[in-house]
Structure 1
């Protein structure tokens, strides 16, 4: 319920404070008395458009405040609780302004809010009929909510909704179990085959990506080996290699820095480069020694990849799809088997549950 309204410099209103008593209130007056302006101010307070034209001529800011009585239980109270706003004495103050600079602001209680939040919250408080917004009374699906609230049965309706949702789901499941036995048997066979085939594959998350990398390495053995050998030769391949040349450069650098200490920092950097490249060369050598062509392992990897690609072709959107899609299909197939009765679902017990609900 709107308890009071304060309007300042809005349209042609300089300052007005209106208090509403409990019950039915009527504002009457001749054309031009300002009835529509008061409705416009309320609409502005509830989250309507904020325009510079709403500011009284010669002023810099228009503002509207309103105090609302909030029931302790209800949608409005729940909204405030969800947004961490506490009413005082079951009342909440709404405040909004617009300035001639175009800036506007709104508060619910002491909390600044967006226009969208203001409109969402105020929808629980006020309905305005006419050429304005907030016409939830015109929406037929909303009628039952108002009737339930008036009857004081909102909590009972919420409990009923939970039960009704449960019974609808179970009736749908029973209908699935009751369709053609032949079609049901075909679906059970199809999902059972899929579940068994995927289980037998013993897939691991990300296995396809690691196998593809392994397959690329093994099938490109000759190019990989030749590349590693070329790197080793360039780094440490006799006197023309980078490391032997760096070694000579180090000796010259050490001698030069012994004559001029300002070269010490450069000599240290050259020494660091020498040791870093020497370490890199050793790691390439170590990698080269472990590099062995294994056609048997390559065949095993390609065979495993072929199995995974076939599973993706059957149970995923494409062969290049993520392996996770196969896992998703597997879980979905198991759920459908349970719904079809293959997982021990008893139609008679389901009927008993529906009757009880």
Structure 2
């Protein structure tokens, strides 16, 4: 559910924050007050194309953010697939900034995102229906999802898709085997050469690091010998003695003094411990110095070996581990090619089995879709009749197509707005207002089964009035039961049936235009309904009619509507 929206420097809106509730929300206001800007701002959050013309005059950028509370399971799965998660409270915060250079900065819960990511997740968060949107109804690829949801076919769809993926996986493996004899021979020769070269190298994990360490030691042996000699001189001394000799004398002197001052015992032991530690250090130093004795031939062999490993790494992988993995993959590929006839026979058999299972499930799914489509058509036509579109013929066209991720069906919705005219795809027939009402009818039919719980209607009231408007309002209210509907309307009959009413107003200040969005209480709603019905000034009779309309709307149950 879209719970919060914040807009900054978008067209005539300087700063505006508003909260949406569940249920039926309406937005009203005079023409030009900014209703379309609000819809455009929501579109920006959903990844729709924007331009710098959207930025308020004098501002360097425009900013929009939206909070979606507890999105559905499919939305969360899609977010996880894209690398995002909800916050601790289960909310999703989407932000988008558009600057004058045309660049966009997008974030999802604080993590960077792209406009394409917003567009990819948006169908799982909100369905927007208005004159500027590429409606879901115009995309036949999505029609099949409505039928599957209507028939509650998700388990069967998942079962089919698993079988289809298995078939495709085996098919791809078969293609890898599909080499002609000349290609196969060339590949075998190359693999054998690479395997031989890597096997003869007798690579060992950690060898390169050990040899590199030895080479560094041998190359710097003279510098090391000089430092070792200096340290030994300081420890052992020559004529005057070194640190070890001095410590011995100190320890002896303290031992003698301890006879007369027993409290020196601990200090004496500490000096003796230091002397013993330094003696150990001296012995270790001697052992390290022994490492500097090497045969120049050994250094040459190390150089040769490292050079050989380096040349192999240029061809087979940066590290020894990479090269050994490559060797193993070459052995497996060679074995597969050499045993290709037997393996090919196994794969062909597995492919035929997987294909048969996928076809079986696709046909079963197709039959269920056909059965579902019949009831779906009748229910949608019934709802369209209630919405004052009785002459509209709504059909579900189901055609067989090659197996794909969705099955073996191509499904699209057809419409005929005039009796006697053949039904055609929605994109060629329906106007914006008709599409909104058709979607409203579909959402009513799918009530409780839809994965998206936020619907936004921008021009559902186009070309209607009177009783038709009231019916549309009733359906919007019904569709909002258990979900969220946000509707921009110019009709009092629709606005009166809402559970949350927001007023969009613009005013001028210091020769600049500003837009405000205000939640209305009961009296505020009455005044706004009166203005919609009769314009300004609002009379007492107009207010009385508006209050009566609100009272009747409150008494109307949310599940009323045909």
- Pick the TM interval, shorter chain: 0.5 to 0.7
Alignment of 1:133-152 (within 5 A): 141-152=141-152
Find the counterpart in structure 1 of residue 279 from structure 2. 278
CA distance in 2: counterparts of 1:322 and 1:160, whole angstroms: 43
TM-score where L is the length of structure 1: 0.59
1:75 aligned onto 2:69: no
1:353 aligned onto 2:350: yes
Find the counterpart in structure 1 of residue 166 from structure 2. 166
Whose RCO is larger (CA < 8 A, sep 6+)?
Answer: 2
In structure 2, the residue corresponding to 1:128 is in which secondary structure?
strand
State the shift of 1:208 in Å.
Answer: 0.5
Alignment of 1:1-357 (within 5 A): 75=74, 111-115=89-93, 124=124, 126-130=126-130, 141-238=141-238, 239-251=240-252, 270-288=271-289, 292-295=293-296, 297-316=298-317, 321-337=318-334, 340-341=337-338, 346-356=343-353, 357=355
> As a proportion of its length, which structure holds more helix?
1
For residues 297-335 of structure 1, the C-alpha deviation after alignment (integer angstroms, 9 at most, x for no partner) is: 44554443343223213313xxxx322231232244345
CA 1:113–1:270 in 2, change beyond 3 Å: closer, same or farther?
farther
State the shift of 1:227 in Å.
Answer: 3.9
CA 1:337–1:256 in 2, change beyond 3 Å: closer, same or farther?
same
State the shift of 1:151 in Å.
Answer: 4.0
Tell me if structure 2 keeps the 8 A contact 1:337–1:343: no
Tell me if structure 2 keeps the 8 A contact 1:339–1:345: no
For residues 69-111 of structure 1, the C-alpha deviation after alignment (integer angstroms, 9 at most, x for no partner) is: x8xxx7369789x9xxxxxxxxxxxxxxxxxxxxxxxx99x94
State the shift of 1:280 in Å.
Answer: 0.7
Cα RMSD for the two superposed structures: 5.4
> As a proportion of its length, which structure holds more strand?
2
For residues 246-270 of structure 1, the C-alpha deviation after alignment (integer angstroms, 9 at most, x for no partner) is: 3334455667788889987766654
State the shift of 1:160 in Å.
Answer: 2.6
CA distance in 2: counterparts of 1:312 and 1:236, whole angstroms: 48
For residues 150-200 of structure 1, the C-alpha deviation after alignment (integer angstroms, 9 at most, x for no partner) is: 343333332332333333333333333333321221112112221233234
CA distance in 2: counterparts of 1:67 and 1:221, whole angstroms: 67
Gaps of 5+ in 1: 21-25, 49-63, 83-106
Tell me if structure 2 keeps the 8 A contact 1:177–1:341: no
State the shift of 1:213 in Å.
Answer: 1.2
Tell me if structure 2 keeps the 8 A contact 1:176–1:340: no
